Structure 1
Amino acid sequence: MKTVFPILRLSLLGAMLALGPMAAVQAKTPADQLIVGMSMVNLFSIDPANAPGLDASGVNANLYDTLIKRDQGNPEKHLPQLAERWEISEDGKQVTFHLRNDVKFHSGNPLTAEDVAWSLYRVMKLNFGLATTWKAYGYSVDNIQALIRATDPHTLVVELPQPADPLLLIDSLAISPSAVIVDRQEAMKHEKNGDLGAAWLVTNEAGSGPFTLTKWSANDSLVMTRFDGYWAGPAKMKRVLVRHMTESQSLRLMLERGDLDLVYGMAAPDIKAIESSPKLQVQPLQRGTMYYVAMSMKQPEFANQKVREAVRNLIDYKGIDEQVMPHYGTLNQQPMQLGLDARLPDPGYKMDVARAKALLAEAGYPQGFTTTIRTLSEPPFIDIAARMQSTLAEGGIKASIVTGTGNQVYGAMRARNFEMIVARGAERYPHPYFSLRTFVYNPDNSDSAGLPNFQGWRASFFDQQLNALIDQAGVERDASKRVSLYHQAQQRYDQQVGPIMMLSQMTDTAVSAVDVKGFTGDDAEATRYLGVYKQR
């Protein structure tokens, strides 16, 4: 199938003009401004209540703050941010956070515990996909205001509505894209028809982070300007400009000639070509996000377990890993991140066309069938899809590739309106419980449940026994028993031939000019530019 790619606008004239009159004629980027090149095709909203994507997380990490954050070197340890300290009650049912008293939003409004409580209520009230994180703990729009409340301007009490490990809740407050704190007064100034500022916050912000949003033009550019009143001290860069660029060779060319300072998404051949350059530096960034192939069990073909097993035998895992994924990801066939103690070894799936054909015949499809594969029109997604199209055809499954924007591709999956998809998704964070809940858990398989943050719900996969194993693991205090439950869950998913088939764990690669210092990519795609500077 012929895929048509969008024409890339290479000129940075408009962007440079936005940065000031001298920027357009300088051979190098300005010393106090960071110019970033990356694809923003999946950036369609920065509203914290409805911005689950990696790109949005990276932007919002610079516009907003959270109560606490993970220690990047030790993901099981949490560090103060807006909360200076916190205590867990003896019975594990309540966590009390004590907030800083010197934080102001970009609007000038003081940040209070009431803003924190309202931000989490807002997520539940709007009920987009990210509300699933809090629903999992038992919160609802009816109980959250009573259970998460401010007792004074700088004290927040969080009660758990049902038995759960309080450390899991603390982890969610540190890492969930929906856990950032929104300026209640500013958002409500823009409320329309009871939307709590939702329409406005799609393209605007109301945060307290180290940068403010100056301008965002979808699929073109995004500009963030330093917030000099930031509680942790002002950022070193005056401005960060992100340019939407999807073509790897253009990223490389513009980085080499000094038009860009930092790029993401460069293809493997271009990374290899510049690895030895004394003017550039390459930083691999291990991510927790997974690349996968998913089938909708709403489709009669994929509701058949033998068909799903046939597809599993028509995936060229080895070829994809060796020829498509270098600098993009590392082979992973489990719905759990590499390196976790609870993760079982890969089951060793491999391509077996004869076995696939036999399974299809047993399922009643001896001549195969036709289907579609949705994906983004950028590497490695389109390359995985093209290889899938070829190997599926060997088994008799004729697949057409349908490309689109991030909203079109992922939107169809969130609406449970797809056949097959090559995608990349959460869980981004290193914890077996969150990984399994994200990829294989589905508490309610009805369309009306509206649980798009569960990948299992998106694919219409439901297994009560598997749900029970994950639920038990979430409250089990004995470490060995908890690991055993995680092992059983992985084995059960393998036996059921779950429709979301993992291919690879994401590895991102950032390439920057050698004079860019202080940049460290975060494992949660929430890279903060607070400490980045240029050594000139």
Structure 2
Amino acid sequence: MSSAVSSSLKFTLALTSLSLLLSACGGGGGSGRADTFVYQQSADIPTLDPGGTYDNASSAVVENLYETLLTYKGSSLREFQPLLATQWSSNAAGTQYTFTLRSGVKFHSGNTLSCDDAAYTFQRNLVTNAPESGNWFLSDALLGTSDNAKTDSSITWQRIQDAVKCNDGQLVLTLPKPDPALLAKLAYTGQSIVDKQWAIQQGEWDGTEATWKDWVGKDLQGSGLSAKPSGTGAYKLVNRDANALAFQAFDGYWGGKPTISNIVFQKVPEQAARLEAIKQGDADMVETGGRAPIEQQLKDQSGIKVIDELPDTSAFAIFMNEQVQPGSSVLGSGKLDGQGIPANFFSDVDVRRGFRAAFDTATYIKDVQQGKGEARTMPLPDTFPGYDASLPRADFDPKAAAAALKQAWNGQVWEKGFTINAVYRAGSVPSQTAMEILKKNVEALNPKFKINLKAKAWSTMLQDFGAGKEVLVLSGWAPDYADADNFLYTYFSSQGFYYNRTHLKDPQIDSWLEQARATTDQAARNRLYAQVGQRAFDQAYYILLPSNPGILAVRGSVEGISQENYNPMRGFAGGVLWKNLSRS
């Protein structure tokens, strides 16, 4: 069968291999066939194994090949609905959850789903728990530690068995303490249920005590299950090469066969080529590169519909490290003498308040986000439970900035001045623009203030940032699960991911965050998070960037992608599962 790729696709894409893939699907060519959907993106798909999935590119595919016990209801981030589990319940203490599994569900291999598959899935994730995976938060919930057995000797095979077991065909998860975010964690794509028998046949862990230690910390991204996946999802993999993956609707899917029979993912590194493909109809949807390309090149194109004002689930901020590692080149002289800064320069609250008041959020929104978005009260998406819009927002106020910096370090900052060496992500216009806004406004306060900016490769910047060697960095967090804990603990806890990057230690905030982790009363949690937000504002721990509403473009014939059914926790750019797509 010949490929149906349109002749208007004039850029090079390794067409020979693509033709084979489209033929395997029974067709192709973007909107040229009613039963095929073509998506183009710049990135590789690192893995098709749920246990190794911890990136958006993999999640976009894995969530359609596999399924979790439960999932988000429609576009909501606060309500869940059954998927492979038809119902669940917990004990009064919130330390044990019991799941009834759906009957008659088939894997792509033909094997029938059982509780043994679910137990194997979670035990495998707890056993491996590689740093490259998202299994740390499952381990935190079920074992009380985010580490694996290599770094935490208290983890034993018995503890893993006690945490995950089957009882009369029902899955029982036992927690050492209540975790109000457990259901959100189980909705994460990386906790999708795998086919135990098939996985073992592909050379994966055999599920026994005899071999479990051999698999501790093992990276599952390149696993046998990634090479040959078998899930319960509406689509199955039929072919792949370096430039494309082809998927076919699974005839045995318990939820009924989808409308779109074939899905093709193409890797197209060049943005211009992807934009041309959607214009010409050779792709139904593409990775566009952000708002500007859509508004400038696609918004008024015939045959393309643009969907705007989609919820933003990331939180970005400019980090002010309160204890830079001694000897770091960013410190300059290492003294408050106008030629550098001391390592603990940002430990003074008046320094932080001065820098925060010098950031012009309105200008950032106008110049970077084309007027979209608004200032935030806390580093948490406003769609998430726990976000409090009534808390104060930081204002651009040069007079307040000057007043704070005149008080900083007992007046020495204003008298002696400083030189800060800061970085921004090379090639990132938003990062560069934000840092330039801060530089301009801080330097305008006092001629003795100097901020030197330098572009830095993302990988190098992350490495130095993680080692506490940077003083000012723009970075952010995208959600693993839809719960405030995933953001606020990350940003503010002295045990959180960002502690080594900020050295922010606030015992009061630590106490509130631990309390919020220990109660299942959402109203009580919200009150605690509001207290965290208020104190963080008072102490000016971060310079928060505004929300950034999403935007996407899709061929006009594609149905199923809209503001109403878009769920930002989906990995696929359209915010929906492929099975919900159709064509008019």
TM-score interval, normalised by the smaller of the two chains: 0.7 to 0.9
Q: Which one of the candidate residues 315, 318, 321 is aligned to 2:365?
A: 321
Which of 508, 522, 535 is 2:567 aligned to?
522
Q: Displacement of 1:99 after TM fit?
A: 0.4
Instruction: Label 1:24 to 1:94 Cα distance change in 2 as closer, same or farther (>3 A).
Output: closer
2-structure distance, mates of 1:461, 1:56: 33
Q: Give CA deviations for 1:117-163 in whole Å, capped at 9, x if unaligned.
A: 232233332332623323443615432320221124x4101122114
Higher mean C-alpha deviation, range 90-99 or range 139-148: 139-148
* Residue of structure 2 aligned with 1:162, choices 177, 180, 184: 177
Output the amino acid matched with 1:32: D
Provide the C-alpha distance between the structure 1 equivalents of 2:288 and 2:306, rounded to a whole number of angstroms. 12
Distance 1:247 1:362 in 2: 51
Partner Cα separation in structure 1 for residue 483 and residue 30 of structure 2: 45
Q: Does the alignment pair 1:263 with 2:314?
A: no
The equivalent residue for 1:37 is 40
Alignment of 1:491-502 (within 5 A): 491-499=534-542, 501-502=543-544
- What CA deviation, in whole Å up to 9, does each residue of 1:275-301 have, x standing for no partner? 344411112331322233335555254
One-letter amino acid of the structure 2 residue matched with residue 11 of structure 1 = T
Letter in 1 for 2:577: R
Distance 1:381 1:235 in 2: 41
Stretches of structure 1 lacking an aligned partner (at least 5 in a row) = 1-8, 444-450
Give the counterpart letter for 1:242 in structure 2.
Answer: F
Classify 1:12/1:479 alpha carbon distance in 2 versus 1 (closer, same or farther; 3 Å): closer
Residue 471, structure 1, aligned to residue 506, structure 2: no
Q: 1:74 to 1:372 in 2, by over 3 A?
A: closer
- The answer to whether the 8 Å contact 1:304/1:363 transfers is no
Greater strand proportion: 1
Q: CA deviation at 1:466?
A: 1.2
Contact 2:122 2:191 (C-alpha < 8 Å) held by counterparts: yes
User: Structure 1 residue aligned with 2:191, among 179, 184, 197?
Assistant: 179
Q: Which residue of 1 aligns with 2:331?
A: none
Equivalent pair of 1:67/1:82 in contact (CA under 8 Å): yes
Would the aligned equivalents of 1:38 and 1:244 in 2 still touch at CA under 8 Å?
yes
Amino acid at match of 2:549: T
Superposition pairs of residues 290-305 of structure 1, within 5 angstroms: 290-297=315-322, 299-300=324-325, 301=343, 304-305=346-347
1:53-108 CA deviation, whole Å, 9 max, x = no partner? 33333222112210001112443322110001112224433221010122233333
Counterpart residue number, 2:478: 426
The AA in structure 2 aligned to 1:108 is G
Q: Which residue of 1 aligns with 2:135?
A: 131
Residues 190-269 of structure 1 correspond to what in structure 2 (within 5 A)? Answer: 190-191=203-204, 194=215, 198-201=220-223, 204=227, 205-214=229-238, 220-245=243-268, 249-269=272-292
How far 1:30 sits from its partner (Å)? Answer: 3.6
Q: Could you tell me whether the CA contact under 8 Å between 2:314 and 2:380 is conserved in 1?
A: no
How do 1:268-279 residues align onto structure 2 when only pairs under 5 Å count? 268-273=291-296, 274-279=298-303
Tell me the distance in 2 between the aligned counterparts of 1:155 and 1:95: 10
Q: Distance in 1 between matches of 2:49 and 2:372?
A: 27
Q: Matched residues in 2 for 1:124 and 1:113: separation?
A: 17
* Structure 1 pair 17–92 and aligned structure 2 pair: CA distance change class (3 A): same
Q: Unaligned stretches of 5+ in structure 2?
A: 1-9, 146-154, 206-213, 326-342
Q: Tell me which residue corresponds to 1:289.
A: 314
Match of 2:504 in 1: 461
In structure 1, C-alpha distance between the alignment counterparts of 2:515 and 2:46, rounded to whole Å:
36
After superposition, the CA RMSD in angstroms is 3.7
TM-score, with length taken from structure 2: 0.75
Provide the C-alpha distance between the structure 1 equivalents of 2:240 and 2:494, rounded to a whole number of angstroms: 35
Q: For 1:38-77, list aligned pairs within 5 A.
A: 38-40=41-43, 44-77=46-79
Paired residue type of 1:498:
Y
1:137 aligned counterpart, secondary structure: helix
In structure 2, how many angstroms separate the alpha carbons of the residues matched to 1:412 and 1:145? 39
Q: Cα–Cα, structure 1 residues 134 and 272, in superposed 2: closer, same or farther, change >3 Å?
A: same
Mapped partners of 2:527, 2:116: distance in 1? 41
Aligned to 1:367: 418
Distance in 1, matches of 2:196 and 2:464, equals: 32
- Compared CA separation, residues 440 and 341, structure 1 to 2 (3 A): closer
1:400 maps to which of 454, 471, 474? 454
Percent identity reads 21
Distance 1:235 1:386, change over 3 A: farther
Task: Please state how far the C-alpha of 1:515 moved relative to its aligned partner.
Answer: 0.6
- Higher mean alpha-carbon deviation, 205-214 vs 243-252, is at 243-252
Partner in structure 2 of residue 440 of structure 1: 492
Larger deviation: 97-106 or 488-497?
Answer: 488-497
Change (3 A) 1:197 1:424: closer
Partner of 1:4: none
482-491 vs 193-202, which moves further: 193-202
CA deviation profile, 1:29-63 (whole Å, cap 9, x unmatched): 4432211133427x645543443333333222112
Q: Which has the larger radius of gyration?
A: 2
The number of residues matched between the two structures is 508
Secondary structure at 1:102 match in 2:
coil
Query: Contact between 1:293 and 1:503, CA under 8 Å: does it hold in 2?
Result: yes
**What's the TM-score, normalizing by structure 1?**
0.81
Output one character per residue of 1:165-203: Cα deviation in whole Å (capped at 9) or x when no partner. Answer: 4xx3223212x2432222333334334853667253395
The residue aligned with 1:511 is 553
Counterparts of 2:362 and 2:373, CA distance in 1: 12
Would the aligned equivalents of 1:327 and 1:507 in 2 still touch at CA under 8 Å?
no
Q: How many angstroms apart in 1 are the aligned matches of 2:293 and 2:264?
A: 23
- Amino acid corresponding to residue 207 of structure 1 in structure 2: G
Deviations 1:337-382 (A, max 9, x none): 225565143422426474686558745972312233336x356456
Question: 1:328/1:418 Cα in 2 relative to 1: closer, same or farther (>3 Å)?
Answer: farther
| Native 8 Å contact 1:181 1:207 kept in 2 | yes
Amino acid at match of 2:233: G
Contact 1:370 1:398 in 2 (8 A): yes
Q: Greater shift after overlay, 307-316 or 234-243?
A: 307-316
Give 1:190's aligned amino acid.
G
1:476-526 CA deviation, whole Å, 9 max, x = no partner? 466654433222111222344335x43133432221111111234322133
AA of the residue aligned to 1:210: A
Question: Residue 211 of structure 2 aligns with which residue?
Answer: none
Asked if 2 retains the 8 angstrom alpha-carbon contact of 1:389 and 1:400, the reply is no
